[in-house]
Structure 1
C-alpha cells in the first residue's frame, strides 16, 4: 500500500507520545514493504521535504491566520486568546498538506495513494478534504480525546472536529479497549472502532542497554545510596498524569521507607505547583524534580537506576512510558481508574503479575500500591521479569504495525 500519514508531530519535532508513535510505526510500515508519506508540521527550521529511514516526510511552511480567525470564528474559538495562533497553525498546516498531496503529488506527479490515516484532532481536519478531493479511504487514529484531556471542560470546537473525523472516516483505530468503550459511550459509531495496542522497541529498551557505572553515577547524582529505593515518575507534568497525588502519597510511603526517594522527570504546566507542594509537605530531601526533556539514552538510565516506576494517571488512553519501564524489567504501579490503557498493560494478579493497579485520584491508594510493591524485593524482581516478557509478547512495534496494516487492508478489500 501507499499510505498518506497525517500527524502534527514527527521527529525531530517531538511534543508527546504521538511523535514517538508516528516515528516507529511508519518505519515498521516501510520495513514491511509499504510506502509511507508523512504530512506534518514545520516549526520554520526544518526541511520541507526529505526521506527519513525510508519514510517520505513533508513539512510545508505555514503562515499565521489567527487574526482572520478572530474575525470569522465563533465566541468559543475567540476565547482561546493567544492560543488561537496554535489552532490556526494546525488548520493551515492541514490545508497546505492536503493541497500538496492532492495538487502536487497526485495530480502533477501522478503518485497514487491507496489510503490516508489521520491522527487525533490535529489530523482529523484533513479527513473531509482527503475524501472529497481524492476519494481516499480514511482511517482516523484516536490517541486521546478533548473531553478526556480536559476532564470534560475542553474546547467544543476541538470536540466537534474529533466527531467530524469519527463520522467522516471509514474506520477508527484507538489504543485500548478502555478507549473504545469511552468513544462508543460518547456516541461514536462502535462498529467502526478497532483496538490496536501501541508498541515499544525492546532492542532499545532493555536492562543490558544501561552501563552499570553510569546507572550508579545517576543514583549518586540524586543522593540515593545502595539499598535505598528510587521511585521514578517519567512523563508530561499535566493534571491527567496524577503527579500531585503521587507527591501527596510520599509522606505515607516514607513512614515505612524513610530512605525512599521519588524522582520526577518531565516538563509541563504543573512544575511550579509541584515545587510548591514539595516545599509545603517538607519533602525537599525525599523528592527530586528534574524538569527537563532528556534524551532517550538518559531516560533509559533513569529506568535502569530505579527500583519501582509509578504512573498514577487519571486519564491515560495508553501510555508508552509504562512500556518503556516494563521493557527495562521494572515493576510498575499504575492508575487504573477511569479511562486507563495502563491497566491493560500491567497485570496486577496471578503468576504473570507485573505490578499494582491503584486509583490515581487517591494519594492514599497510590501510597498503598507503592508500599505493596516495596514489601517484597524478590517479588518486585519477578514482576519486572514478567513485565519484559509481556512486552515481548504483546507490545512490539512489529505487532502493532501488522495489526494496523491488517485493518487497512481489510478496509481496502471491503471487509471489516
Structure 2
C-alpha cells in the first residue's frame, strides 16, 4: 500500500510529540512493507526531497503569504497579529504539499496512491484539498484539539478546520479512549472514530541503553547525590502539562522529604513563571530547571537517572514522555482527571501497578501522589519493572503500526468494494 502522509513536523525538524510520533510510526509502517510518502513543512534550510530510513520525504519550500492574507481574512485571524505568519505557513504548506502530491506525483508522474492520512488541524486543509482533487480515501489522525489545548477559549478558525476535517475524512484515528469520548461529546461522528495508542521503542528506551557512568554524570551535573531522590518532569512548559501545579506541590514534599529534588526539562511559555514561583516558594535548592529541548539519547539518560517521573497534565490526549519513562523502569505519577490518555497507560492497583493517578490541577493531590511513591523505594522499583513490562505488552510502535494498518486496510478495502458495486 502506498500512503500519502501529511504532517507538520518531521525529522530532522522536531518540535514536540507529533514529530516523534511521525518519525517512529512511518518507520514501522515501512518495516511492515508499506510505502510511505511524507509531505511536511520546510523552514528553508532542509532538502526538498530525500529518503530517510526508507521513508520518502517531500518538503516544498514555503513562502510567507501573511501580508496577502491580512487583506481578506476575518477579524479573528487579523487579531493573531504576528502569529498570522504562523497560520500563513500552515496554509501555504498545505497548498504546496497537496499541489506536489496531486499535480507532480499523481497527474504528471503517474504515481499510484492507495490513501492519504493527515495529522491534526495542521494537515486539515490538505485533507479538504485532496478530497476535492482526487477520489482517494482520507484518514484524519487527531492527536489533540484546539478546545482542549486552550481551555475552550481558542481559535474558532482552528476549531472549524478540525470539525470540517472530521466531516470530509472517511476515518478518524485518535490516541486514547478518553479522547474519543471527548470528540463524540463535541459532536464528532463516533462511528468514524477508532482508537490506536501511541508507543515507544523498548529497545531504544531501555535500561540497558544507558551506562552507570552516564547516570552518575547526569546526577552529578544537577548536584543530586546517591541518597537523594530525583523527580523528573519532561515536556512543554505550558498550562496543559500541570507544571506550575507540580512546582507548587514541592514545598510540601521538601518539608517531608528534604532530599527530594525536581528536575524540569523542557521549553515553553511558562519558563518565567516557573522561575519566579521557585524563588517565591524558596525551593531553589530542590528544583533544578533546564529550559532546553535535548537530543533523544540525553533524554533517555534523564529517565535512567531519575527515581520517578511526574507528568501531572490537566489535558493530555495521550502523552509519550510517560511511556518513555515507563520503558526505563520508572514508576510514574500522572494527571488523570478530565481528558487524559495517561490514565490508560498507568495501572494504579495490584497486581501490575505502575504508578499513581492524581488530579493534575491540584498541588495538594500531586503532593499526595509523590508521597505514595517516595515513601516506599522498594515498592516503587517494582512498579517500575511492571511499567516496562506494560510498555512491552501494549505500547510499542510495532503494535501501533499494526493497529493503524488494520484501520487503513479496512478503509481501502471498503473503497474498492464500493467501486465494484
Query: Is the shorter-chain TM-score for this pair beyond 0.5, marking a shared fold?
Result: yes
Distance in 2 (CA, whole Å) between partners of 1:58 and 1:193 is 28
Where in structure 1 are there 5+ consecutive unaligned residues? none
Give the corresponding residue for 1:222. 222
In the alignment, the residues of structure 2 paired with residue 218 and residue 54 of structure 1 have an alpha-carbon distance, to the nearest angstrom, of 34
> Is residue 70 of structure 2 the alignment partner of residue 32 of structure 1?
no
Q: How does 1:2-151 map to 2 (within 5 A)?
A: 2-151=2-151
- Secondary structure at 1:172 match in 2: strand
Q: Map Cα deviations across residues 235-278 of structure 1 (whole Å, 9 max, x no partner).
A: 01011000000000001111210111000000111100000000
Pairing 1:246–2:246 present: yes
Q: Which residue number in structure 2 is paired with residue 168 of structure 1? A: 168
* Distance apart, 1:214 and its partner CA: 1.4
Task: Tell me which residue corresponds to 2:262.
Answer: 262
State how 1:239-388 maps to structure 2 within 5 Å.
239-388=239-388
Cα distance, 1:377 vs structure 2? 0.8
Give distance in 2, aligned partners of 1:91 and 1:378.
53
Alignment of 1:186-197 (within 5 A): 186-197=186-197
- Matched with 2:397 is 397
Could you report, residue by residue, the CA deviation over 1:62-119 in whole angstroms, capped at 9, with x for unpaired residues? 1111111111100011110000000001010000111101111001110010000000
Cα displacement string for residues 314-358 of structure 1 (whole angstroms, at most 9, x for unaligned residues): 000000000000000000000000100000000011211000000
| 1:123 CA drift (Å) | 0.4
Q: 5+ residue gaps in structure 2?
A: none
Shift >4 Å, 4+ stretches: none
Query: What's the TM-score, normalizing by structure 2?
Result: 0.98
Over aligned residue pairs, what C-alpha RMSD do you find? 0.9
Q: CA deviation at 1:148?
A: 0.3
Distance 1:397 1:302 in 2: 21
Q: CA deviation at 1:174?
A: 0.1
Q: Which deviations, in whole Å up to 9, do the C-alpha atoms of 1:115-143 show, x marking residues without a partner?
A: 00000000011111111111110000000
**SS of 2:288 mapped into structure 1:** strand
Secondary structure of 1:126's counterpart equals: helix
Q: Could you say what secondary structure the match of 1:365 adopts? A: helix
Cα distance in 2, alignment partners of residues 263 and 100 from structure 1: 44
How many correspondences in the alignment?
Answer: 416
Distance in 1 separating the partners of 2:68 and 2:98: 21
The DSSP-based 3-state class of the residue aligned with 1:82 is helix
Per-residue deviation at 1:223? 1.2
**2:152 corresponding residue in structure 1:** 152
